[in-house]
């Protein structure tokens, strides 16, 4: 079938001060975003609070996160975001509703992008003030439309059944984008989010068939970890396979770490992100002689933060361990009262110990040594 979707133009995000510069759209790699889940005002009066946020941002960066959005509901948050943006290389996004002055304040810092909708700001001169400040600073904008923020006339059309909600999303986004076109500003992305997979797909397809504007894709209010993952995976794999989506956010009622890991797994499995550590692990069953779940929980973040391009297998027992994990560069499995470490299916270490706690600690030490030798 002929691909009828337009290739998105490029938008530059970041590159202000020490902030990493990203390019979204065109043939650029697809970036992973998450959203900060706490208030940030404490950083205004506490160096410790600021250091703690910077360290958490670094951890997310290590996991593969490219960009982080922060809610900016008031001026104190805008000031706090400026402060954070001057202490990290991570491109940060200010999420603003209604008050254009918050956007202007954020742009005094090194904020990479503003998420704001022209329709929310009100008067044209306020929209122009934000656009001019972004232009001057080199910051980008994201128009973020969702099914709860339709203008009145579109709500009516949807209610009368004249258009679907997905068409309503695409029409609203096109209208908002039109305002920036009139101001001759093209450094913006668009997102159209619904909480259903079908509406998210339909809206993004409808928009991408008409406009070469890079899309931030996401399913909004996707739900808790499992439900949210399923919805985002279905929507993203469909859209990404069609070449739609320049940046993604897996929205979960869970931690930013889980959102980033999920985004990375989706891109890797869609063949859109190469390298890094791939973890394969067995579900565990009655044959297990090794706490696979505990090991994976303990090691997941560390492994996924490594720059190595390897596969690691974590298997419960020797029956299927080294055999099923043969293609893994490094593997670990239980074998009765022992733990085995193997490379490409060949056993390289056997750790024996009766005390299970000491066995687990010794296995971790041996595993780290073998990992570092790769």
Residue with Cβ nearer ligand SF4 (104 or 332): 332
Q: Write phi, then psi, for 312 (nearest 5 degrees).
A: -120, 130
Residues from 254 through 313 that contact ligand SF4 (CB under 6 A): 282-285, 287-288
Cβ atoms of residues 214 and 246 within 8 Å: yes
Cβ atoms of residues 193 and 200 within 8 Å: yes
Residue with Cβ nearer ligand SF4 (320 or 362): 320
Query: Among the candidate windows 87-95, 272-280, 298-306, 314-322, which touches ligand SF4 by CB under 6 A?
Result: 314-322
Q: Check binding of 161 to ligand SF4 (CB under 6 A).
A: no
Q: Check binding of 320 to ligand SF4 (CB under 6 A).
A: yes
Residue with Cβ nearer ligand SF4 (161 or 283): 283
Query: Among the candidate windows 48-56, 133-141, 295-303, 315-323, which touches ligand SF4 by CB under 6 A?
Result: 315-323
Three-class DSSP category at 258: helix
Distance CA 266, CA 306 (A): 18
Distance CA 160, CA 199 (A): 18
Q: At closest approach, how far in Å is the CB of 322 from ligand SF4?
A: 10
Comparing CA positions, the residue from 82, 148, 98, 113 lying closest to residue 15 is 113
Q: How many CA atoms lie within 13 A of 231 on its CB side?
A: 26
* N residues, the chain: 374
Question: With 0-12 CB in 10 A as exposed, 13-18 as middle and 19+ as buried, what is 275?
Answer: exposed
Query: Among the candidate windows 5-13, 252-260, 295-303, 316-324, which touches ligand SF4 by CB under 6 A?
Result: 316-324
Q: At closest approach, how far in Å is the CB of 6 from ligand SF4?
A: 46
Residue number, nearest CB to ligand SF4 = 316
Residue with Cβ nearer ligand SF4 (251 or 288): 288
Please give the size of the binding site for ligand SF4, defined by CB under 6 A. 12
Q: Which residues bind ligand SF4 (CB under 6 A)?
A: 282-285, 287-288, 315-317, 319-321
């Amino acid at each position: 079938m002929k691909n009828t979707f337009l290739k998105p133009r490029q938008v530059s995000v970041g590159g202000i001060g020490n902030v990493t510069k990203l390019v979204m759209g065109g043939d650029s790699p697809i970036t992973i975003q998450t959203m900060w889940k706490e208030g940030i005002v404490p950083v205004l009066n506490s160096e410790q609070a600021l250091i703690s946020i910077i360290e958490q941002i670094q951890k997310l960066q290590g996991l593969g996160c490219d960009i982080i959005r922060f809610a900016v509901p008031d001026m104190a948050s805008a000031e706090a975001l400026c402060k954070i943006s001057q202490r990290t290389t991570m491109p940060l996004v200010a999420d603003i509703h209604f008050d254009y002055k918050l956007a202007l304040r954020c742009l005094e810092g090194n904020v990479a992008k503003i998420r704001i909708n022209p329709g929310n700001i009100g008067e044209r001169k306020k929209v122009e003030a934000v656009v001019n400040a972004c232009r001057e600073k080199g910051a980008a904008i994201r128009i973020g439309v969702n099914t709860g923020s339709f203008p009145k006339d579109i709500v009516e059309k949807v209610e009368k059944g004249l258009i679907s909600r997905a068409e309503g999303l695409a029409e609203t986004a096109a209208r908002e984008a039109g305002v920036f076109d009139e101001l001759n500003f093209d450094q913006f992305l668009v997102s159209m989010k619904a909480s259903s997979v079908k509406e998210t797909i339909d809206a993004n397809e409808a928009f991408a068939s008409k406009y070469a504007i890079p899309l931030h894709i996401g399913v909004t209010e996707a739900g808790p970890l499992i439900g949210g993952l399923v919805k985002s995976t279905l929507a993203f794999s469909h859209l990404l396979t069609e070449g739609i989506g320049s940046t993604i956010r897996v929205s979960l009622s869970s931690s930013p770490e889980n959102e980033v890991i999920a985004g990375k797994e989706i891109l890797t499995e869609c063949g859109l992100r190469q390298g890094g550590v791939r973890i394969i692990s067995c579900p565990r069953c009655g044959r297990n002689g090794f706490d696979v779940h505990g090991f994976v929980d303990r090691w997941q973040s560390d492994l996924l933060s490594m720059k190595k391009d390897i596969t690691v297998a974590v298997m419960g027992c020797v029956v299927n361990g080294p055999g099923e994990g043969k293609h893994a560069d490094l593997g670990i499995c239980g074998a009765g009262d022992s733990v085995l470490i193997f490379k490409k299916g060949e056993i390289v270490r056997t750790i024996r110990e009766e005390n299970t706690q000491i066995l687990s600690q010794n296995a971790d030490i041996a595993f780290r040594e073998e990992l570092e030798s790769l």
